[in-house]
């Protein structure tokens, strides 16, 4: 029944999906935190830049960003991110696009987390004489992170699903393999079931696990 799977590297494609997810998750967590810090910082120019970035990037379709990294950045401007084979270049470009896009959502999640930290905590920190960086780094962000595990899990799940967009620039991940298999094999329903199951296996446990973690680490108030 499943002999149509022969000749196709389905686990390999999903492994690429996982790798895309992990690299982009790490990148967007970093860049998103920086953006969130900018958006609450005392320097107006940084606040303005943070707001501008989030509003612009959130409203561009991810597909446009990903296709742009390939057609615009690579083919027109010659940005290859230090790689020389097409597969590696496209993979890195996809990670770049996914990071740039997802960071906006990480930033928004973190900002809502910053808003849940009680006023008294911040006032106490300021009363102790801590500067902005210390208030943010020692008091606010640690609590904010603990309260946004849930929303960040949503962002991670959305990112996992969004990695399929990398198929648009030929990164050999799950969606691209699915399209190829649909074209070549007659087993449409079974092929789709396999890929649907793959994504359910990736996303459902992530949601359940991080939901559980979120409840565990949430600051009790």
Partner 1 sequence: MSSVLYDTPGPRARRRNTLYTAGFLLVLAAGAWWVFTGLAGKGQLEWSKWAPFLTDSRVWTTFLLPGLENTLIAAALALVIALPLGAVLGIARLSEHRWVRGTAGTVVEFFRAIPVLILMLFANAAYAAFFDISPDSRPLYAVVTGLVLYNASVLAEVVRAGILALPRGQSDAARAIGMRKGQTMRYVLLPQSVTAMLPAIVSQMVVIVKDTALGGAMLGFSELLASVRPMSANYGANTIAGFTVVAVIFIVLNFALTSFAARLESRLRRGRRSAGAVVAADAVEELATPGEHVGHRPEPPGRS
The site for partner 1, by CB under 8 A, has a size of 73
| Least Å from the CB of residue 211 to partner 1 | 4
* Residue 32 to residues 17, 85, 104, Cα–Cα distance (Å): 21, 29, 6
Q: Of the candidates 55, 128, 142, 184, which one interacts with partner 1 according to CB under 8 A?
A: 55
| Least Å from the CB of residue 50 to partner 1 | 11
Q: Of the candidates 3, 6, 77, 220, which one interacts with partner 1 according to CB under 8 A?
A: 77
Tell me, what DSSP letter sits at residue 6? T
Residues 140-169 that bind partner 1 (CB under 8 A): 140, 147, 150-151, 153-155, 157-158, 161-162, 164-165, 167-168
Structure tokens at 101: 């896009």
Residue whose CB is less far from partner 1, 12 or 131: 131
Residue whose CB is less far from partner 1, 88 or 196: 196
Span between the terminal Cα atoms of the chain, in Å: 55
Residues 90-109 that bind partner 1 (CB under 8 A): 105, 108
Residue 163 to residue 202: CA distance in whole angstroms: 12
Backbone angles phi, psi at 117, to 5 degrees: -75, 125
Q: Verify binding: residue 63, partner 1, rule CB under 8 A.
A: yes
Q: Of the candidates 18, 19, 22, 68, which one interacts with partner 1 according to CB under 8 A?
A: 68
Residues 170-209 that bind partner 1 (CB under 8 A): 174-175, 178-179, 182, 188, 192, 195-196, 199-200, 203-208
Residue whose CB is less far from partner 1, 19 or 206: 206
Q: Verify binding: residue 131, partner 1, rule CB under 8 A.
A: yes
Residues 5-34 that bind partner 1 (CB under 8 A): none
Residue whose CB is less far from partner 1, 95 or 149: 149
Residue 52 to residue 211: CA distance in whole angstroms: 31
* Residue 190 to residues 3, 46, 182, 187, 197, Cα–Cα distance (Å): 11, 51, 10, 5, 10
Alpha-carbon dihedral sign for residues 59, 61, 64, 70: positive
Q: Verify binding: residue 138, partner 1, rule CB under 8 A.
A: no
Q: Which of 8, 11, 6, 24 is nearest to 165 (CA)?
A: 24
| Least Å from the CB of residue 44 to partner 1 | 7
Residue 103 to residue 155: CA distance in whole angstroms: 9
Question: Rounded to the nearest 10 degrees, how much is the dihedral formed by the CA atoms of 8, 9, 10, 14?
Answer: -150
């Amino acid at each position: 029944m499943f002999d149509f799977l022969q000749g196709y590297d389905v686990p390999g494609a999903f492994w690429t999906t996982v790798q895309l997810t992990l690299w982009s998750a790490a990148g967007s967590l970093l860049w998103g935190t920086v953006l969130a810090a900018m958006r609450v910082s005392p320097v107006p120019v940084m606040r303005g830049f943070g707001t501008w970035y989030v509003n612009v990037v959130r409203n561009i379709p991810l597909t446009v960003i990903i296709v742009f990294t390939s057609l615009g950045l690579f083919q027109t401007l010659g940005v290859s991110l230090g790689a020389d084979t097409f597969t590696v270049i496209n993979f890195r470009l996809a990670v770049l696009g996914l990071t740039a896009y997802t960071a906006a959502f990480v930033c928004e999640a973190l900002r809502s987390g910053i808003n849940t930290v009680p006023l008294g905590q911040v006032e106490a920190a300021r009363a102790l004489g801590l500067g902005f960086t210390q208030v943010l780094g020692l008091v606010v962000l640690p609590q904010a992170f603990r309260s946004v595990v849930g929303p960040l899990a949503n962002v991670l799940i959305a990112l996992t699903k969004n990695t399929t967009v990398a198929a648009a620039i030929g990164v050999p991940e799950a969606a691209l393999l699915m399209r190829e298999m649909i074209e070549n094999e007659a087993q449409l329903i079974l092929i789709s079931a396999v890929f649907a199951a793959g994504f359910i296996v990736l996303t459902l446990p992530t949601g359940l696990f991080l939901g559980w973690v979120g409840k565990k680490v949430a600051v009790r108030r």
